[in-house]
Amino acid sequence: MRYGYCIFCDDIRTEVGEKLSFIGVYSGVLMLPEFPISLAKFCVHVNLVTLAAQPYRSIVLRCVAPGEQQPLLEERLESAQLDEQSNLTDGFETDDVPMHVVVGASLVFSPLRLRRPGLLTVSAIIDDKPAEIASLRIAQR
């Protein structure tokens, strides 16, 4: 089974040991005082999960702001990152539990300009098939 999820936040920091820290995580809605508005920084961390036996061949991520037709970002993940999927399962044997791998990407918008409230959506083209990943509701206080 394949699925994906996002963490929407103010900042993503890489810590010692390649750990990620998410600063100012949003839970379903981002309340803003007015529109249009420009946020100094906004981040989205995308995780895509698949069975190790079905690795991703290609991934193009898209992020679209509320009410916009053109994406804020459309980015193809590098093949080197996708090639790492097979390395993650080397040396592991599981007879009864299926092995999963996660491909992650941090998207950083600095600044992020929002013209209106609505849904900020993250989607992808995965192995030439469209996939909705997640959305964050942007609302006015």
Domain ranges of the chain: 3-140
DSSP 70-124: S-SEEEEPPHHHHHHHHHHTTT---SSS--EEEEEEEEEESSEEE-SSEEEEEEE
Work out the average pLDDT over 50-69: 93
pLDDT at position 80 is 61
With cut-offs at 50, 70 and 90, classify the pLDDT of residue 100: confident
pLDDT at position 78 is 79
Fold for the domain defined by 3-140: Immunoglobulin-like (2.60.40)
pLDDT at position 128 is 94
- Give residue-wise pLDDT tens across range 105-140: 999 999 999 999 999 999 999 999 999 999 999 999
pLDDT at position 91 is 62
Report the distance separating Cα 115 and Cα 81, nearest Å: 34
pLDDT at position 47 is 96
The angle subtended at Cα 104 by Cα 56 and Cα 66, nearest 5°, is 100
Please determine, for residue 93, whether its predicted confidence score (pLDDT) is greater than 70: no
Which pTM does this prediction carry?
0.90
